Amino acid sequence: MAFLWLLYDIRTPFLDKLMQFVTYFGQEIIIIAVICALYWCTDKRFAYLLGFTYFTAGLGVQALKITFRIPRPWILNPSFSAVKSAVPAATGYSFPSGHTQGATALYFPLALKAKTPALRAVFVLAFLLVGFSRMYLGCHTPKDVLVSITLTIGVSLIMWRFQSFLLDDSRYLKQIAAVLALLSAAVAAYALFLNHTGTIEAKYALDCCRASGAGLGFCAGWYTERTYLNFSTRTRTLPGQFFKLAAGLLAAFVIKSSFSQFFGSSVLAKMAEYFILVLWVLVIYPYLFTKAAARKAAG
């Protein structure tokens, strides 16, 4: 907490707004939008690599959260207060940092892929700044951030090292999908068990089950797309690519914002929501725009 108090003493309205802006680059919506842009429009293979990294590291972070159950800094020390604008997005337990995990899962692989030292430095700085912003805003301690960065970099390096096996070798699609599905299901079962026994409240199981639903959607969508669809990212015109991206993201937003109105906000409903959202990204929408392109080409 000593470092958080140091940052507390240098807070200003300008820095509060700046750090709140920086922390948005670790938000789920930004990360998913970037993955969608790559997946639908430019580099499907690299988008898959980001997906494997993001969802696997996310499951690890969520499992650690409900295992150690460390409260947020303002709960650990009631005399400490976070920046108010950051509190609504600070759901779940404090350790490790979910925002930092998301940012590292996106920007570290981008740094590995970068072709110039300057660009590599920009991407490394991006996830380090997101981690710093989480501490400045008072949502996480240095331990929360450092463990999240370390875990996610470890997962990223493993995925990078074995990317040919994951993304180019079609002999083990079922086995890879099954391992990720079992991991996702195990994390959900663990969260639901802790909730059922009264160890954690439903709100703490929620983030875990959302990550599990997304992980299940990813392995199902990845296997289905690789086996049956195998769509192309090509579109004849640049405006066509922009339209494709905008339409897909808008539909995903509609699904996410309306799902709870029909199915409620229970833990299992949220798990199903994220499962369907990821299926939309990986399979349903690519199938639709592939069919539309085929019809247009046919006349």
> Would you list the domain boundaries of the chain?
1-164, 169-299
Q: How far apart are CA 234 and CA 42, in angstroms?
A: 7
pLDDT of res. 293: 76
- Amino acid 289: pLDDT: 87
Q: What is the pLDDT of residue 299?
A: 61
Question: In whole angstroms, what is the distance from residue 155 CA to residue 169 CA?
Answer: 20
- pLDDT digits (tens), the chain, 299 positions: 889 999 999 999 999 999 999 999 999 999 999 999 999 999 999 999 999 999 999 999 999 999 999 999 999 899 999 999 998 888 889 999 999 999 999 999 999 999 999 999 999 999 999 999 999 999 999 999 999 999 999 999 999 999 999 998 888 899 999 999 999 999 999 999 999 999 999 989 999 999 999 999 999 999 999 999 988 888 778 888 899 999 999 999 999 999 988 889 899 999 999 999 999 999 999 999 888 877 776 66
Write the CB contacts of 244 (distance below 8 Å, at least 6 apart in sequence).
40, 41, 235, 289
Residue 30 Cα distances to 26, 102, 199, 284, angstroms: 7, 9, 32, 21
Q: What is the reported pLDDT for 234?
A: 82
Count Cα neighbours of 244 within 13 Å in the Cβ-side half-sphere.
Answer: 27
Predicted TM-score (pTM) of the model is: 0.93
